Amino acid sequence: MLDNYKLLYPLDTIVHKPVFYNLSQLEDNDDFAKLLETPGLMVYDEMFDQLKELMKYKTPSRKFNEEELEALVFKHIAPLSLNEYGVWVYYPWSNRLVHLLDR
């Protein structure tokens, strides 16, 4: 059946699994830097907003102003930077890189 179709990529080269990068681990940094050079890569990084929502979730009875939330976020992730916190997930089939909260 597939013989009737011209495939853009051979079936054995299509990647069906996401690739995870944890930038707090040095061994992931080089591969991640190379990935960022990928032509057409779409990067989605909403980590700061995700962390603000996490801080609200942890203390639902309290109302925070923006400065308090920012302070809580940076206290929570210390000593890491925003880029190092969480996990970056690359979806090769759509050329998307997404920054997500880790477990």
For position 11, what pLDDT does the model report? 57
CA dist 27 and 68 (Å) reads 34
For position 4, what pLDDT does the model report? 52
39-79, pLDDT tens digit by residue? 999 999 999 999 999 999 999 999 999 999 999 999 999 99
At which residue do the structure tokens 């190379």 appear?
A: 34
13-22, pLDDT tens digit by residue? 655 799 999 9
Confidence of residue 103 (pLDDT cuts 50, 70, 90): confident
For position 16, what pLDDT does the model report? 79
Beta partners for residue 19, in sequence order: 90
Mean residue pLDDT of the chain comes to 89
Question: Is-contact 20 89, C-beta < 8 A?
Answer: yes
Beta partners for residue 45, in sequence order: 99
Q: Where are the domains of the chain?
A: 30-103
This prediction has a pTM of 0.80
- Average pLDDT estimate for 17-32: 94
Produce one character per residue of 76-88: b if its CB has 16 or more CB atoms within 10 Å, e if not.
ebeeeeeeebbbb
Q: What contacts 73, CB < 8 A, 6 or more positions away?
A: 48, 51, 52, 55
